[in-house]
Structure 1
Amino acid sequence: MLTDVFLQEVQERGKYDTIHEADRAARVVLALLGAHLVGGERTELAARLPETYALLLLNPLPAAEPLSPERFVRATAAWIDGATNETAKWDIGAVLSAVADAAGPDLVRRILMQLPLGYDMLFGRPTSL
């Protein structure tokens, strides 16, 4: 996927005024997500993203423990200047829904199996139990 196409998707979904805002959200969310994914799923997802974002996904420091969706939101808010938990949810939704479309349903399902319950909502892919 081309960087411009990915960022336009994030910008449209997040209703950001500029590509810079979409890029900032994508960098933070993907770096945090990369710390929680391992193995083939992380590599496969990276292959479906533009190189800049793939590297962020592949090269984070591993998380000491999995973050619940609520803690993921708080961590995102902490990394974006002026963000609140509500704006961080918006940023996460814009980025992860674009990521989910790039990944496809099978890969998203396998990614969600690695993450704590509740991440399906962050990806914009609610699942029924």
Structure 2
Amino acid sequence: MKKTLIIFSFVGLIASCGSNENKTTDKSTSSESTSTEAPADPEVEKGLALVGKSDCLTCHKILDNATGPAYQAIAERYKDKPGSVDSLAHKVIKGGSGNWGTIPMTPHPAISEEDAKAMVKYVLSLKK
């Protein structure tokens, strides 16, 4: 009886793993369809992928303010300012405060400078 239960559990585990693969494929397909709306800049697409994998969307939303400012508001403020990519990438890595209120941005020291710049380029691409 125990062997039968173990076998059924194993089969169920394998079946559930298979269904997760299909869900992942479905998600990537749907993100591919929405990514055609964004600029075809590979750096922006890389930034979008990195933002999606990070904890950024915990504090930031695209259109609405949350704990942090909306990405579109950040893009409006910084898009045309020289040096903004480097400056904002530094803030992603080191954290910051005072530019959008009193709540500080949490530092993300594990994010490389290259990845932070790609993430910032994605955010800045959202300017209307």
* TM-score between the two structures when normalised by the length of structure 2: 0.31
**Structure holding more helix per residue:** 1
Larger Rg: 1 or 2? Answer: 2
